Amino acid sequence: MFGGWRPEALRADTGQDAWLRYAPLETAAKAKYASLPASVVVLGHSPVLRTAQEEMIRGVRGMMAKTLRAEKGVAERAIVLGTLAAMHAAGYSLKAPKLEGDGFWLTTGQIQGIDCLIVASTSDLGVLYGVFALLSKIARDQTFSSLDEVQQPYALIRWVEQWDNLNGTIERGYAGPSIFFENGDVRADLRRVGQYARLLASIGVNGCTINNVNADPRIIDDSFLPQLARIANEFRPWGVRLAVSVDLSSPKVIGGLDSFDPVDPRVIEWWRAKVSKIYQQIPDFGGFVVKADSEGRPGPSSYGRTPADAATVIARALKPHGGLLLYRAFAYDHHLDWRNPKNDRARAAYDIFHPLDGQFDDNVIIQIKYGPIDFQAREPVSPLLGRLERTNEGIELQITQEYTGQQRHLCFLPTMWKEILDFDLHVSGNKTPVKDLVAGKVFHRPTGALVGVANVGLDANWLGHPLAMANLYGFGRLAWDPNLSGEAVAEEWTRLAFGNDPLVVKTITDMQRASWYVYESYTGPLGAQTLTDILGSHYGPGIESSERNGWGQWHRADHDGIGMDRTVATGTGYTGQYPPAIQNRYESVRATPDELLLFFHHVPYTYLLHSGKTVIQHIYDSHYDGAEEAADFVRQWKSLQHHVDEERYAAVLARLEYQAGHAIVWRDAICNWFFRTSGIRDAKGRVDHHPHRIEAETMQLQGYGSIEVHPWENASGGEGIECVTPSGCTATLRFDRPAGWYEIDVQYFDQNNGESKFRVFVGNQQVDEWIANDHFPATKPSGDSSTRRRIPGLALRPGDEIRVQGIPDGEEHAPLDYIEVRASPAER
Ligand code: GCW
């Protein structure tokens, strides 16, 4: 019944343990590890080493139902955990390889004549990382009879950031409230914080910034520090350093000064004293993140000072304590004049920070978003990444899917991150991939950083979509080792999160690997960026929201063509920020790769791509293909029924079915908009032609009235219907096709300010009913709230009356867009 595979994988799973489930091993795998020693020896007493020993015991107990004996010395075959120094001190003679920092060595060897399994490092934390690596191998069914493996982290700083507010909400968080804060204070119950730190440690993440970069100054108020210390206590046993985002105006807002001018001696003293107080309570405090002069945040420009002036005052306060300052390069003017074709937000980070190269202290890291705009589904690599030679830099990636489907759409981001990290910027004509630049290897900097904005929440499974945790896992793995392939990361994660059933491993790995391209293909063509509502949710389609305003995310589409001319020759000059080899590639319209064409060039819709298609036909095709591939995810996932636990099976299926529907909303919005704007027909005749679609406004309505939807492209035909009669309304049509099996899609709008009820009848028989109670980011009918209900397998006869009844609730007026009646798949 289970395809020969074990029912073990089918245990209910809330997702709380993520990739650290330690699920019981298959009998065959258990046999493989039967010779594992029966005891675990740890050399040393630090909290991190204690954690390492406990984790080893926990993992083996979960997977093999055996409890290792915790010992202090080697008297029998043992798993030995400790630093190389401790091993030498204990008189163990080992020929150790060269290890640095928190790197580790897993090996088998003799200690005092006894065969042992050894996990060694130069640091306690490295030992913990080694334990996690060993347990991961067991969970993934890897053989390690002749184990001898060294792993070194690529970059020193591997931090996640959370955009949590003190009131418990999370900016761009999609999985429930904050695990850290509630009602203005640190939560009383911090169990989830300890669990989070464990997950982070298991992938080598060594720091976490807990609050929004749009920082509440109160975070470092003296009265708040004991609360921060409680969080640091949860992090400490896992070697995760606590950091916070600070507001540059803090000396004024909470410090009582009349200025926050970074060169004012009183301000300098204020930061010095504040930082010492923090370290008195949190000796291993990691440091600060700063967002300044950006999107309305206060900054040094108020006093005519530079980011270097601002960074210096804070960095010097942190320096004596070993603290770091991550100063964000995401600073730009959001009141740009869109009428000026030379204006370009993409230039901002480089224009502001490049002239300051060399003016930052050694404990400052300039934290640079991967692209020059803002976490779009596709952007070129930020040129600033290649242009700081005398300043530490780090890259900022986004784990939370702000512009990539908000964990309702499947989008495995390590595929994108790999392209970015491997991208060779050819600095000074040499091979200089981004991963080497941000690890500080190219210019021999003291440090570098990979930072991921995670935004996990209180939802049991941390990120909402059960498959989205692969992004957090993948961030940590790539920060540790950017040379891993995206495929390897997806496969590791799948084995850990779902077990080793080959069908499960292959299916989920394949889906993850395809998912970013699929998402990109129906949301943002050819580097035009994610064509979403940039002024609001950043979720559904909103093609013109980025045009004709000061935010500078323009793609400049009009009747004749589309794209931003960013060339030196005729455009904004942005391409000139890249080293020559890259500049030449992007300066030339022919040399620019298709997927970034519209980021760099303005071209007519009839322009021929390298693929041989015109731009407009590519837009149509990619959106149709993308929507079909999204539908195919549902089919692929269904092949895993009875191979994964029911809970996650159902939760993922629901999200994928929703995604397949929402991909059609995206497809239609973008295709219709470009069709109307360009006037050029789809060569394949699909756009604006939906043979089985019946617009709700054309049905026979009782009580329902038509409404216009804005922007028009987010509803089929630009209109929908709504019902304000409390007892409900109906929309009816007469079925006039041959008798047979059909499925009906009801496209409706599910707002978050009411829970309307829907019922569907064929003749007098009710065939379905549901409540529109999902929580999309929308209070009106829109591309965010548009969703569908699919009713499969209906035997319809000519003359049947199909009737949808809607009963409004609150501000949600049972809004409908259209219905589609299609022959059931088996009949097609
Ligand atoms: O992407 C934008 C987000 C903002 C965010 C900002 C930033 C925290 O829409 O919500 O603010 O970037 O990164 O500072």
297 lines ligand 1 (CB under 6 A): no
CA of 368 to the centre of ligand 1 (A): 13
Output the pLDDT for position 13: 87
Cα gap 35→567, rounded to integer Å:
64
Cα gap 476→465, rounded to integer Å:
18
**DSSP letter string over 413-460?**
THHHHHHHHH-B--GGGS--BHHHHHTTTTTT-S--EEEEE----SST
pLDDT in tens, 794-806: 999 999 999 999 9
Tokens of 172: 């761009």
Output the pLDDT for position 8: 56
CA of 500 to the centre of ligand 1 (A): 38
Tokens of 800: 């049947």
Residue nearest to atom 3 of ligand 1 (CA): 172
Q: Does position 816 have pLDDT exceeding 90, yes or no?
A: yes
334 lines ligand 1 (CB under 6 A): no
pLDDT in tens, 581-612: 999 999 999 999 999 999 999 999 999 999 99
Output the pLDDT for position 3: 42
Output the pLDDT for position 384: 98
Residue nearest to atom 1 of ligand 1 (CA): 374
CA of 50 to the centre of ligand 1 (A): 38
CA of 620 to the centre of ligand 1 (A): 30
CA of 162 to the centre of ligand 1 (A): 11
Output the pLDDT for position 428: 86
Going by C-alpha positions, the residue among 547, 538, 520, 783 that lies closest to residue 669 is 783
332 lines ligand 1 (CB under 6 A): no
CA of 375 to the centre of ligand 1 (A): 9
pLDDT (average), residues 639-648: 96
CA of 400 to the centre of ligand 1 (A): 11
CA of 577 to the centre of ligand 1 (A): 23
The mean pLDDT value of the chain amounts to 96
The alpha carbon of residue 15 and the mean position of all alpha carbons in its chain are separated, in whole angstroms, by 17
213 lines ligand 1 (CB under 6 A): yes
Q: How confident is the model at residue 293 (pLDDT cuts 50, 70, 90)?
A: very high
Output the pLDDT for position 32: 87
Atom of ligand 1 nearest to the CA of 214: 8
Provide the annotated active-site residues. 295, 374, 402
Question: Ligand 1 test: best mutation among 169, 170, 172, 453, most atoms within 8 Å of CB?
Answer: 172
Atom of ligand 1 nearest to the CA of 294: 14
pLDDT (average), residues 410-423: 98
The CA–CA distances, whole Å, from 757 to 730, 747, 795, 812, 817 equal 12, 14, 24, 10, 15
DSSP strand pairing (364-369 vs 392-398): parallel
Atom of ligand 1 nearest to the CA of 453: 13
330 lines ligand 1 (CB under 6 A): yes
**DSSP letter string over 221-273?**
SGGGHHHHHHHHHHHGGGTPEEEEEE-TTHHHHTT--S---TTSHHHHHHHHH
Output the pLDDT for position 93: 85
Q: Does position 718 have pLDDT exceeding 60, yes or no?
A: yes
Q: For the sheet with 765-771, list strands across it.
A: 700-702, 729-734, 801-807, 757-762, 765-771
User: How many of the other CB atoms lie within 10 Å of CB of 430?
Assistant: 11
| Degrees, nearest 5: CA angle 479-175-478 | 10
Q: Whole-model pTM?
A: 0.97
169 lines ligand 1 (CB under 6 A): no
Question: Ligand 1 test: best mutation among 247, 248, 402, most atoms within 8 Å of CB?
Answer: 402
**DSSP letter string over 585-633?**
HHHSTTTS-GGGHHHH--EETTPBPTTSSBHHHHHHHHHHHHHHHHHHH
Cα gap 126→239, rounded to integer Å:
9
Cα gap 119→671, rounded to integer Å:
56
Contacts of 802 (CB under 8 A, 6+ apart): 732, 733, 734, 735, 744, 760, 761, 762, 796, 819, 821
Question: Ligand 1 test: best mutation among 295, 327, 529, most atoms within 8 Å of CB?
Answer: 295
Output the pLDDT for position 11: 75
DSSP strand pairing (207-209 vs 241-246): parallel
Atom of ligand 1 nearest to the CA of 374: 1
**Quick check: 611 and 575 in contact, CB under 8 A?**
no
Going by C-alpha positions, the residue among 712, 711, 713 that lies closest to residue 672 is 713
Cα gap 22→5, rounded to integer Å:
18
451 lines ligand 1 (CB under 6 A): no
Q: Does position 7 have pLDDT exceeding 70, yes or no?
A: no
Contacts of 53 (CB under 8 A, 6+ apart): 40, 42, 70, 81
544 lines ligand 1 (CB under 6 A): no
Q: How confident is the model at residue 194 (pLDDT cuts 50, 70, 90)?
A: very high
CA of 396 to the centre of ligand 1 (A): 12
Cα gap 540→524, rounded to integer Å:
12
Residue nearest to atom 12 of ligand 1 (CA): 374
161 lines ligand 1 (CB under 6 A): no
Question: Ligand 1 test: best mutation among 213, 370, 530, most atoms within 8 Å of CB?
Answer: 213
Q: Does position 636 have pLDDT exceeding 60, yes or no?
A: yes
Q: How confident is the model at residue 334 (pLDDT cuts 50, 70, 90)?
A: very high
Output the pLDDT for position 769: 98
715 lines ligand 1 (CB under 6 A): no
Output the pLDDT for position 2: 40
Output the pLDDT for position 143: 83
**Quick check: 601 and 641 in contact, CB under 8 A?**
no
pLDDT in tens, 732-776: 999 999 999 999 999 999 999 999 999 999 999 999 999 999 999
DSSP helix/strand/coil, 580:
helix
Cα gap 332→346, rounded to integer Å:
9
Q: Does position 70 have pLDDT exceeding 60, yes or no?
A: yes
Question: Ligand 1 test: best mutation among 164, 165, 171, most atoms within 8 Å of CB?
Answer: 171
CA of 370 to the centre of ligand 1 (A): 13
Cα gap 239→486, rounded to integer Å:
26
Atom of ligand 1 nearest to the CA of 213: 8
pLDDT in tens, 428-475: 889 999 999 999 999 999 999 999 999 999 999 999 999 999 999 999
Percent of residues, the chain, with pLDDT higher than 70:
99
Backbone CA torsion sign across 728, 734, 740, 745: negative
Contacts of 735 (CB under 8 A, 6+ apart): 796, 797, 798, 799, 800, 801, 802, 821
361 lines ligand 1 (CB under 6 A): no
3-state secondary structure 623-658: HHHHHHHHHHHHHHHHCCCCCCCHHHHHHHHHHHHH
Atom of ligand 1 nearest to the CA of 291: 14
pLDDT in tens, 93-122: 889 999 988 999 999 999 999 999 999 999
374 lines ligand 1 (CB under 6 A): yes
CA of 163 to the centre of ligand 1 (A): 9
**Quick check: 720 and 766 in contact, CB under 8 A?**
no
Atom of ligand 1 nearest to the CA of 538: 9
Output the pLDDT for position 271: 98
Atom of ligand 1 nearest to the CA of 171: 10
Q: How confident is the model at residue 9 (pLDDT cuts 50, 70, 90)?
A: low
pLDDT in tens, 136-180: 999 999 987 779 999 999 999 999 999 999 999 999 999 999 999
Percentage helix, strand, coil for the chain under 3-state DSSP, each rounded to 5 = 35, 20, 45
291 lines ligand 1 (CB under 6 A): yes
CA of 590 to the centre of ligand 1 (A): 33
Residue nearest to atom 2 of ligand 1 (CA): 374
DSSP helix/strand/coil, 570:
coil
**Quick check: 89 and 49 in contact, CB under 8 A?**
no
The alpha carbon of residue 191 and the mean position of all alpha carbons in its chain are separated, in whole angstroms, by 23
pLDDT in tens, 461-517: 999 999 999 999 999 999 999 999 999 999 999 999 999 999 999 999 999 999 999
Q: How confident is the model at residue 4 (pLDDT cuts 50, 70, 90)?
A: very low
